[in-house]
Structure 1
Amino acid sequence: MDEIARLRSALLRPAGESSDFDLNPGIQLPAGRVLRPAGVLIPVWNRPGGAQVILTKRASHLKHHPGQISLPGGKVEPVDASVQAAALREAMEEIALPPRLVEVVGHLPVHETVTGFSMTPVLGHIRDDFVPAPEAGEVEEVFTVPLSHVLDLSRYCIERRLWMGQWRRYYAVPYGPYYIWGATARILRGLAERAAL
Structure 2
Amino acid sequence: MSTDFEKRLREKLDPLGDIAGAFARTRSDNDLNPGFDNHPEARPAAVLAPIIKRAGGWTMLLTARSVETPAHPGQISFPGGRVQASDADAVETALRETFEEVGLERRFIEPIGAWDRYDTITGFRVTPIVGLVEPGFELKLDPREVASAFEAPLDFLMDPANHEVREAQFRGRLRRYYVMPYEGHNIWGATAGMVRALWERLYG
**Shared fold (TM-score greater than 0.5)?**
yes
* 1:26 and 2:28 correspond: no
Superposed displacement of residue 22, structure 1: 0.4
From 10, 13, 29, the equivalent of 1:11 is: 13
1:97-130 CA-partner distances (Å, limit 9, x unpaired): 1122211110011100111111000011013420
Give the distance between the partners of 1:16 and 1:155, measured in 2 at CA. 24
After the TM superposition, which of the residue ranges 149-158 and 99-108 deviates more from structure 2?
A: 99-108
> What's the RMSD between the two structures over aligned residues?
1.9
Q: Distance in 1 between matches of 2:123 and 2:65?
A: 19
Could you tell me how far apart the structure 2 residues matched to 1:15 and 1:183 are? 19
Structure 1 window deviating more from structure 2 (135-144 vs 56-65): it is: 56-65
- In structure 1, what is the Cα distance between the partners aligned to 2:106 and 2:163? 30
Q: Deviations over 1:3-30 (max 9, x none)?
A: 3223223427x98531111001121347
Aligned length in residues: 194
Secondary structure of the equivalent of 1:174? strand
SS at match of 2:93: helix
Supply the distance in 1 between the matched residues of 2:13 and 2:7 (Cα, whole angstroms).
Answer: 10
AA aligned to 1:160 is E
Task: Verify: 1:114 aligned to 2:121, yes or no.
Answer: yes
Larger deviation, residues 132-141 vs 49-58: 132-141
The residue correspondences of 1:35-184 to structure 2 (distance < 5 A) are 35-184=42-191
Contact preservation (8 Å) 1:10, 1:191 = no
Return closer, same or farther for 1:26/1:181 CA change in 2, 3 Å cut-off: same
How many Å separate the matches in 2 of 1:138 and 1:121?
A: 19
* Local SS of the residue matching 2:8: helix
Percent sequence identity is 40
2:72 counterpart SS class: coil
**How far apart in 1 are the matches of 2:37 and 2:117?**
20
Q: Is the 8 A contact 2:27 2:118 kept in 1?
A: yes
Q: Aligned with 1:97: secondary structure?
A: coil
1:155 and 1:10 map into 2 onto residues whose CA distance is: 22
Residues 156-181 of structure 1: per-residue CA shift (max 9 Å, x gap): 01111111111111111111100000
| The 10-residue stretch of structure 1 (82-91 or 98-107) with the greater mean CA deviation from structure 2 | 98-107
Q: What TM-score, normalized to structure 2?
A: 0.88
Preserved CA contact (<8 Å) 2:95 2:106 = yes
**Gaps (5+ residues) in structure 1?**
none
Q: What secondary structure is seen at the aligned counterpart in 2 of 1:179?
A: strand
Three-state SS of the structure 1 residue aligned to 2:187 is coil
Listed as ranges, the gaps of 5+ residues in structure 2 are 15-22
Would you say the 8 A contact 1:133–1:142 is kept in 2? no
Q: In the alignment, is the contact (CA less than 8 A) between 2:179 and 2:189 conserved in 1? A: yes
Q: Distance in 2 between matches of 1:51 and 1:189?
A: 17
Q: Within 2, Cα distance between the matches of 1:116 and 1:28?
A: 11
